[in-house]
Structure 1
């Protein structure tokens, strides 16, 4: 390595791939289920004009809970679970690109930045169509007047499962009839402009914060604890930097807009600078526990997936 590190980074070639993917699927599913309500609230806050429906994150949580109950916080979740595919693609791309870049540079910041951006590009190509459908489902119920498409919320014979699939089928049909296949990639460029920088910023800051914390912490402090603290710090940093484009992305996908520039201009004209911060608190609230769980899960996943002959050579 370029410099002596207190915290050792487990690289792709150190892993038992079967364990890595098996445990990774379970980890990703757990994280998404935990933070999904905050994702739904963030989307509704970003799409609403001013404070026409909700006054903030906590107000939105209470109103959705009173209006639709706990299921209301999980609208579109079944569709969103398909992003597990993009999650695995993200992890694989990140690790493989890190390995490739290491042939040209041992600088960890460069490896993290390039790998993070590349992983996000691959993941968003898979994720955007799923997001387009799941975000329309998120807006149903109390927020349906903010959406281009609406579905009947009457319970169908056969229970809630049939109703969920019926609503999903209805949204997919409406998107296709209205916009054809390109409708499923509405906001794709805005998503790339949001998540590629977000990912490219998150990884270098994650390693940076972990290193700084390791210098301040006692020598016997568990590395996993330092990494669990570094993850949320990096998430808050990346979320703050990329939130303006995330607001634009949400409006493009939910309202059916086509121009990033015009959407940005209208948002500034109608709501000023503070419009750029819409949903930021909900985004940070969701990203901090996501980052903590992801770091704990991801670093633990890499530890349990470490090839047996390397276990004794690592200090955690």
Structure 2
């Protein structure tokens, strides 16, 4: 009889929660520092009309670096770090939802889909206002802006970072009131809930398929590190059209998802819905490897002491 090997999954009840959260914040910060430039590039590519400024991911990277320096690739980064809170809420919701649905189903795919969607719903409710502010900061180019709002200058110099943030917040509030900070909320839910709900089942699916094709002594962590980017590429491709619409709604101040979709297709054709996909996948590949390796390692490091010797990797 064939000895079938399965990827071992560490469940929520196996973890030391204090270790889990401390290690998690450190890991998330390192990931954000490494992938933020591609997040900024993706957003600019999605918002620009046609190829008015950048011809693609690499072209955008070079032009931003030349015109704005390395700091230009990190516009809005400090504001964006506040999403660390939503990241911890995401992980907690995901794990608790998996635990809850374990009472009703043993299917890993079903638990992952439901937990991933629920976690994204909670996280986006916290993240959207932070995203709206950080995206407007991303749009600030040297001497001009790609968005609705422009950071004011004072005696030829830009405000310090937090001054720019305060200025953008004031402009959003003046133009749209409190609703302005949740502009694109529905579009974000329609983007990230499916993305999260799709990513987790595909991640586990690819891991199990790779496990069945590789030798028994192949480390589980290696298989998971390969499965993560594969799942991210799949989810990114499926949800990119909605991500483009979300970015335009939030940055350009549009109020209708349907009208934004129609305008985009009319102006740039169906391929306009795929703008920024390469930047999204490029940023997702290394970040997902780090996330998966970090997350799985984090869970192992956070195992309750009495369970450490019972696990085999």
Using structure 1 for the length normalisation, give the TM-score.
Answer: 0.96
1:265 counterpart residue number: 262
Match of 1:205 among 199, 202, 222: 202
2:89 counterpart residue number: 89
* Contact map agreement 1:29 1:81 (CA 8 A) in 2: yes
* Contact map agreement 2:5 2:211 (CA 8 A) in 1: no
For residues 13-35 of structure 1, the C-alpha deviation after alignment (integer angstroms, 9 at most, x for no partner) is: 00000100010000111111110
Mapped partners of 2:294, 2:108: distance in 1: 21
2:300 counterpart residue number: 303
C-alpha spacing 1:286/1:143, structure 2 compared with 1 (3 Å):
farther
C-alpha spacing 1:152/1:112, structure 2 compared with 1 (3 Å):
same
**Shift of residue 312, structure 1, vs aligned partner:** 1.1
1:313 counterpart residue number: 310
Name the count of aligned residue pairs.
310
1:124 counterpart residue number: 124
After TM superposition, the structure 1 = structure 2 runs for residues 20-99 of structure 1, keeping only pairs within 5 Å, are 20-99=20-99
1:149 counterpart residue number: 149
For residues 240-297 of structure 1, the C-alpha deviation after alignment (integer angstroms, 9 at most, x for no partner) is: 0000000000000000000000000011111111101100000001111111100000
* Contact map agreement 1:156 1:163 (CA 8 A) in 2: no
Match of 2:229 among 197, 222, 232: 232
**Shift of residue 155, structure 1, vs aligned partner:** 8.6
Mapped partners of 2:219, 2:272: distance in 1: 41
Mapped partners of 1:103, 1:252: distance in 2: 40
Using structure 2 for the length normalisation, give the TM-score.
Answer: 0.96
Mapped partners of 2:288, 2:235: distance in 1: 11
* Contact map agreement 2:46 2:247 (CA 8 A) in 1: yes
C-alpha spacing 1:56/1:148, structure 2 compared with 1 (3 Å):
same
**Shift of residue 5, structure 1, vs aligned partner:** 5.4
For residues 178-225 of structure 1, the C-alpha deviation after alignment (integer angstroms, 9 at most, x for no partner) is: 000000000000000000000000000000000011111111001000
Consecutive unaligned residues in structure 2, runs of 5 or more: none
Matched, 1:140 2:137: no
Mapped partners of 2:207, 2:167: distance in 1: 46
* Contact map agreement 1:64 1:142 (CA 8 A) in 2: no
* Contact map agreement 2:187 2:242 (CA 8 A) in 1: yes
Q: RMSD of the TM alignment (CA)?
A: 1.5
Match of 2:186 among 184, 189, 196: 189
**Partner-residue secondary structure (3-state), 2:69:** helix
* Contact map agreement 1:136 1:147 (CA 8 A) in 2: yes
* Contact map agreement 1:235 1:287 (CA 8 A) in 2: yes
Mapped partners of 2:5, 2:302: distance in 1: 21
* Contact map agreement 2:5 2:216 (CA 8 A) in 1: no
For residues 87-138 of structure 1, the C-alpha deviation after alignment (integer angstroms, 9 at most, x for no partner) is: 0000000000000000111110000000000000000000000000000000
C-alpha spacing 1:144/1:233, structure 2 compared with 1 (3 Å):
farther
**Shift of residue 153, structure 1, vs aligned partner:** 5.4
2:173 counterpart residue number: 176
